[in-house]
Chains A and B, each alone.
Chain A
Amino acid sequence: MDDNELDILLSEALAPPQSPADRGFVLRVERAVAEEERYRKWRAAFLRQLVSETLALAAVGGSFAFIAQVPAVEAALTEAPGLIWAALVLLLLVWALMRGRVNVLA
């Protein structure tokens, strides 16, 4: 086989098919892209929520720490340490209610 014959054979055998697009394959890619988009949106929403809730928690924690330093509050907490737990439970309840409301609104 000479060079010319080999070149012809290669270009015929290795040329991409000229047939129309494979609808099944195109559909599969479309589905994969749609799935990827859904995941991307979910991840972005999750990260947004994580950041906002972390900031809110830090703000509330800071406020509590600040209030606890007020002499009258500090004295009350020393006499009744259960107040701290009551405050935390109340805070958790408010957070759960707010979250539920946000989810309902969303």
Chain B
Amino acid sequence: MPPERDADAVLCRRAAGGDRGAFRLLVETHERRLRAFLGQLAGPDLADELAQEAFLKAWQSLAAFREEAKFSSWLCAIGWRLFVDHKRRERSEGRKRDAAAELAEREQAPAAGSRLDLARALARLEPVERAALVLCDGHGWSHEEAAVILRLPLGTLKGNVRRAKQKCREYLR
């Protein structure tokens, strides 16, 4: 087991026993990645809300966490499910606008041309395509790990990454 994962496993065990200090260390270690992932899906404000909820759910379910999984991928999977639930609620409320698409439209910060174009290209992707692309090409998860996080069959995940890249390439052409 890699040292980082080993450390997480020890912290998880301690946190599952009610050690809030151990859980704080887990939050400190993983919050940037989770918020960055959710930020690409939902925009920064909602991402923080979802990330906080994800950590709270993780705290409540630590006893059910199986150590053969990585804590980071387990946490990411919780965040993804919360995002999907949020989108479902939003759809049922009739609000169909994609927060990330809005974000790209509102983008005011002066960014390099290709980065800004990429943000717009990403905003045009389906959320699941965007999530697959962010996990595999941005955060360095393997296709297998990303498929577990997004609860997709491996072939579907690979198809989503391929389609996402194709759409980005077409947009950036």
A positions within 8 Å CB-CB of B: 1, 3, 6-7, 9-11, 13-19, 21-22, 25-26, 28-30, 32-34, 36-37
The list of the 8 closest CB pairs from A to B, nearest first, reads: A14-B138, A21-B28, A16-B36, A10-B137, A16-B33, A29-B55, A29-B27, A14-B134
Interface string of B21-44 (1 = CB under 8 A from A): 001100111011101110010000
Given known contacts A1-B172, A14-B133, A33 and B32 CB-to-CB distance under 8 angstroms: no
Does B88 belong to the interface (CB within 8 Å)? no
A44 CB to nearest chain B CB (Å): 13
Interface residue tally for chain B (C-beta within 8 Å):
35
B positions within 8 Å CB-CB of A: 20, 23-24, 27-29, 31-33, 35-37, 40, 48, 51-52, 55-56, 59-60, 114-115, 118-119, 133-134, 137-140, 165, 168-169, 172-173
Q: Is the CB of B169 within 8 A of A16?
A: no
Q: Is the CB of A22 within 8 A of B32?
A: yes
Chain B residue contacts of A21, Cβ below 8 A = 27-29, 31-32
A6 to B164, CA, bound (A): 11
Q: Is the CB of A26 within 8 A of B27?
A: yes
Checking A3, A9, A19, A29 against B114 with a beta-carbon cut-off of 8 angstroms, the contacting residue is: A9
A32 to B48, CA, bound (A): 13
Chain A residue contacts of B118, Cβ below 8 A = 9-10, 13
Q: Is the CB of B56 within 8 A of A16?
A: no
Q: Name the residue on A nearest B139 (C-beta).
A: A16
Chain B residue contacts of A9, Cβ below 8 A = 114-115, 118, 172
